[in-house]
Structures are given as C-alpha cells and as structure tokens.
Amino acid sequence: MLKYLIIFIPIFFISCSKPIYQTQDSALIVIKSKTLKYADMGFIYVTNQKIKVDIYSTGQALLSIDIYNDSICMGDFKCMSYEQFNSKFLSNNYPLYLFKNIFASNDIFNSKNLIKSKDGYIQEIKSDKYDIKYERVGNKTIFRDIKNNILIKIRKIIK
C-alpha cells in the first residue's frame, strides 16, 4: 500500500499543477476585425502545447484565447478549428496558422516576400483577396490587411 502511495501522490500533485510557461509577456494587444474588437493590456503566455492570450480592461478579463496546435479556444468552451476561426474572425483566404504565427512572432505565408532587417522583418503580401503588411520589429508586431479591414498589433512591454 505504501508503495502505491509513493507512486501516486507525486503524480497527483504534478497533474494538478499549473503549466510552466516558457515565456510570459505583458503587452498592449489590439485585435480589430469585423467580429473582434479589443484594444487593451494583456498577457501572452507560451508553453510547448499552446499560446495563451489574455486581454484585460480595468482588471477584468475581457478575452481569453488558447491557441493549440490543432484548435483555437475562446473562453472556457468555445473551441474551433483554425479553418473555422479564420472564417468567423479573420478571412477564409488566410493560411490556417496565421493567427498562431502572429502571436508566436513567426513569419507568415511561408516567408513570402520576407525582408529581414537588423532587428526584425517586414512582409508585404498582396492579392485580389488581401493586401497585407506584416512587420515584426523589436518588441512590436503589426499585422494589417487593408482589404479585409483587419489589424492585429502587439507591443510587448519590456521589463
């Protein structure tokens, strides 16, 4: 019996512990599309399994987004595929992982038109369905699509 307790008690405590974040940044986060409109301070947490974005206003959580490898969850129970998320909140014409790549500070559209600079990069991607300027410079990430009227801006607060 003691042998089983020695094995299961650590497992119980590990399973109930909070995730360990690789990075945890406070940021000014702006998300504007036809169906999402948020501009406030928040936090971006990164683990191996997900990216968590929390936006607050006057100390109250306004929006919580969990970005997993196969889905995006908003709030506690509203999970959807990347395709559904793009269709509902962004544009059907975007690559599936665009939103995740923006919050992970990665390039988009398979590095199309990527121009590197000493402290970041810029991408300008145009078609009949979108007109995108995406830049990551220092602590700022800005995604702007003029045709679809979408803006995602992240300015991490340097400690």
pLDDT score at 48: 85
Q: What is the pLDDT of residue 14?
A: 46
**Lookup: tokens for 56:** 């607050």
The pTM score is 0.83
Q: Under CATH, which architecture does the 19-156 domain have?
A: Clam (2.50)
Query: What per-residue confidence (pLDDT) applies to 58?
Result: 80
Residue partners of 145: CB distance under 8 A and separation at least 6: 91, 130, 131, 132, 151
Instruction: Give ∠ CA 81-43-39 in degrees, rounded to 5.
Output: 80
**Per-residue burial over 130-143, b = 16 or more CB atoms within 10 Å of its CB, e = otherwise:** bebebbbeeeebbb
Domain residue limits, the chain: 19-156
Alpha carbon distance 74, 35 (integer Å): 13
Per-residue model confidence as pLDDT tens for the chain (159 residues):
545 445 544 444 444 445 565 668 899 999 999 999 999 999 999 988 899 999 998 878 889 999 999 999 997 668 999 999 999 999 999 999 999 999 999 999 999 999 999 899 999 999 999 999 999 999 999 999 999 999 999 999 976
